[in-house]
Structure 1
Amino acid sequence: MTNVTAVLEFRLLGFRSNPHCQILLFTVFLVIYLLTILGNVIIISVVTLEPRLHLPMYKFLQNLSFLEVCYTTTIVPKMLANLLAKRKSISFSGSMVQLYYFISLGATECYLLAVMAYDRFLAVCAPLRYGVAMTPAACTRLAVGSWLTGVFTGFLPCLMVSRLHFCSYNLIDHFFCDFSPLLKLSCSDTTVTEAVIFVLSLLVLSGCFLWTLVSYLLIILSILKIPSASGKRVTFSTCSSHLMVVSIYYGTMISMYVRPSYSLSPELSKAVPVLYTVVTPLLNPVIYGLRNKAFKEALGKIVIGQHCLHPS
C-alpha cells in the first residue's frame, strides 16, 4: 500500500428515497434552516441593542446563538444541495474541512453549555458572590476560553482521519462526513484513531455533561430550600430552558459518540444526527427567546421603537 490517498472525493448517499420525498425533505430542512438563522440572528441583535440584557447570561446566550448559526451552516447547506443534486459528492479536502468545523463547533457548544450552567449555579446558589465572580472580564474570559478550547479540540481527530488511506470505495451512507462512515471506508488500521476519538468524546461530552448535571443538582437543592412556592417557580423558570436544550443536545450526542462498539442501524445513524445538527439549533432561539420574559420585553420594546421611528 502506498502512502497516498487514492480517493479524491466521496459520494454522500444521504437520505435515499424517491424524488418526491427528496423535494419534501429539502423543503422541510430549508424552512428549519432559515428559521434557525432568523431566530438566532434576532437573539444576537436584541442582546446587542438592549442595554438591560448586557448581563453574563445573555452574553453567553449571544455566543451560543452565533455558534448555532455557524454549526448548522457547516452541515445543512451541503445537505440541501445534495438533496437536489444528481451527483451527491464532496471533495476529500472539503470533507476534512466539514469534519473539523463539525467537531470544533460541537465541542465549543459543550463548553458554552457548561459555562452557562456554571453561570446559573452562581446566580441561584451564590447570589451575593455572583457580581464579584461573574464580572464582565470573567464573562469574556469564559466565552473566549470556550471558543479557543473548541478550536483546538478538533485538530487531533481530524489530523488522524486525514492521514488514513481511502483506497477505492467512496460511498458514504450519511448526509455529512461524520467519523463513523469515514472510518468504515478506510482501508487502514483504524484502531488507534477510533480509540482517540472515543476517549476525546468521552472526556468532552461526559465531562461537560457531568459538570452541567452537578450544577443543576445543586441548583435544584437550592430551589427546594426556598420557602414560597412562587419563589421556587420563578427561580426554576430561569434554568428550565437551559436544562431542556442541554438534555436534547447531550442525549443525542452521547448516543452517537459515547457508546459500546456495536453500531447503530443505518437509519438511526442518520436520524439521530438530524436532532443535533438541524433541530437543536432551531430550539435554541425558541426556548431561550419565547420562554424568557426579559427577552420578550426587550424584543417588544425594539419592535415598538422601530414602528414609532418608521410609522406606516
Structure 2
Amino acid sequence: MQVLFVIDPIASLKAYKDSSVAMMYAFAAKGHEIFITEQQDLYIKGQVWARTQAIQVIEQANLEEHAWWQEVGSVQERNLADFDAVIMRKDPPFDMEYAYSCHLLAYAEKFGAKVFNSGVAMLNHPEKLTITEFSQFTSPTLVTRDMARVKAFHQEHEDIVVKPLDGMGGMGIFRLQKKEPNLSSILEMLSRNGQETIMAQRYIPDIVKGDKRILIINGKPVPYCLARIPLAGETRGNLAAGGRGVAQPLSERDWEIANTLAPILKERGLFLVGLDVIGDYLTEVNVTSPTCFVEITQQTDFHVANFFVEQLESVLGA
C-alpha cells in the first residue's frame, strides 16, 4: 500500500514518543510505502491534491535524534485519491485552517480518497462537545458563554472544572473550588467576556488516579488504557502538562463506555478515537490525532501501532 500521512513538519516530531512515527514504523515493517505532506500543501485544483514526499524510516535509529527517516526520490504533486490510505495526523489546535483541511479531505473522499479519520466525521465531532451525546457516562456538564449560568453551576456543585472548547494538552483548564476569589476573572478570561462558549463540569476527584486514555481502532477497544497521573498539586493529567503515563487494563466501566461508543463512532467514519475517562466518567472524545500508542506498547504486551495497521489493512482489503 501507499500511505500518505498529513502531519506537522516531520523534523518537529518527537519520534521516541510520537504515535504517528510508531504507525510509520509499523507500516514499513509490513512493506508499505510511506509518504508525507503538510496541511499547507493540500489544495483543490478540480480535485484534491497535495505536495508529497516519499520517506523511509531507518531501522535501529536513535529516536531521540532527528536521523530516524530519510527522503526517497523527489517531491511529487499527487491526487489524494491515488493513495491507498490518507491518514490525518495533524495535531490540534482545531482552528479554521484545521477545519478547512477537513473540508478538503471530505471533498477528496467524494473522488475516491480513503481518509482516516473521515474529514466530515472530524468536523462533526468537536472533541469536548461530543460527550454531550453520551450523557449517561458524563459528570454534570454545562456548555455556555453566559457567565451567570457558569456561576450558578459553580454554586450548585461547589467544585467544578472549566475549559475552552478548543484547548489541547490541558491548556486553559481551571479547577474552581467552593471559595474561588478569582472566579469572575477566570470566567471573563476563558469566555473572552462572554464572547466565546466554554465548558464547565463537576470536578471528578478520581483525577488523582489518572486521566485515562482509551483507544478505539476500527470499532475495537484496545484492552489497555494509559492513565495519565497528574503531578502533585496539579489537576491536569495530560502528558503535555507533566502527567505521568501508567498503562493498565480497562476496568469494567471502561469497557462499558468503550463498547457503547465504539460501534457508533465507527459507523460515523471515525477509525481512530481516543476516549478520555476520569474515574467512571467520560470527559472527552478525541478524534484529531489521538496519541499514547508508544506508552501503552512499551508497558504492555499489546503493540498498538501493529494493531492499527492490521485493522487498516482489513478495512482496505490489503
TM-score after normalising by structure 1: 0.25
> Using CA pairs below 8 Å that are at least 6 residues apart, which structure has the higher relative contact order?
1
By percentage of residues, which structure has more strand?
A: 2
Q: Which has the larger radius of gyration?
A: 1
